[in-house]
């Protein structure tokens, strides 16, 4: 009888301890992570201007990133994405995030906003291209946010820029 009581007591204590440990798991400050993600996207855009678009993407993409450009099929992996971006016309892509949000566990998030860049048309005239983007981000083991999926689409017909 005493042996059953000890087993029961051990089971009750183990259960209570388990519940206590679950309740002690660290909480995530979602608002902090949301702000951190938004600021990371701003830094990503600034890096595009400072070091070039292809290099900035390489620095901010997860290894298994997916690029979904509007003009061609999917491009998978950050090395392939850098090669794809380096093979096109030389542009400086800029963007401004409008919103960032993260999951309750703060391991996934997204940003969306507007982008723009200038390029030359067939006659050598400058054109401005505007669009919208959505990036899905994944928190890395080191705590850094990296882009997992990048999607962009052009908003309007290119606007010819007047030369001064």
What is the fold of 29-160?
Nuclear Transport Factor 2; Chain: A, (3.10.450)
**Which among 119, 130, 62 is positioned nearest to 91, based on CA atoms?**
119
pLDDT at 21: 43
- pLDDT score of 26: 64
Q: What pLDDT, on the 0 to 100 scale, is given for residue 163?
A: 47
Q: What pLDDT does 10 receive?
A: 53
| Predicted local confidence at residue 90, as pLDDT | 80
Output helix, strand, coil percentages for the chain, rounded to the nearest 5: 40, 35, 25
Mind listing the pLDDT tens digit of every residue in the chain (164 residues)? Answer: 566 556 655 555 455 444 444 445 568 999 999 999 999 999 999 999 999 999 999 999 999 999 999 889 999 999 999 999 999 888 889 999 999 999 999 999 999 999 999 887 778 888 889 999 999 999 999 999 999 999 999 987 666 655 44
Tell me which DSSP letter residue 158 carries: P
Residue 34: predicted pLDDT: 98
């Amino acid at each position: 009888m005493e042996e059953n009581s000890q087993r029961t007591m051990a089971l009750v204590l183990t259960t209570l301890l388990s519940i206590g440990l679950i309740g002690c798991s660290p909480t995530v400050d979602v608002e902090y992570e949301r702000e951190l993600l938004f600021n990371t996207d701003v830094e990503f855009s600034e890096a595009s201007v400072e070091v070039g678009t292809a290099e900035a993407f390489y620095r901010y993409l997860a290894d298994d990133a997916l690029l979904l450009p509007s003009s061609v099929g999917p491009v998978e992996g950050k090395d392939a994405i850098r090669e794809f971006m380096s093979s096109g016309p030389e542009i400086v892509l800029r963007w401004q995030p409008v919103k960032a949000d993260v999951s309750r566990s703060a391991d996934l998030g997204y940003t969306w906003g507007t982008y723009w860049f200038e390029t030359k048309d067939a006659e050598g005239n400058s054109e401005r291209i505007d669009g919208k983007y959505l990036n899905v981000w994944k928190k890395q083991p080191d705590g850094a946010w990296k882009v997992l999926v990048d999607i962009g689409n052009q908003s309007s017909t290119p606007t010819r820029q007047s030369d001064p």
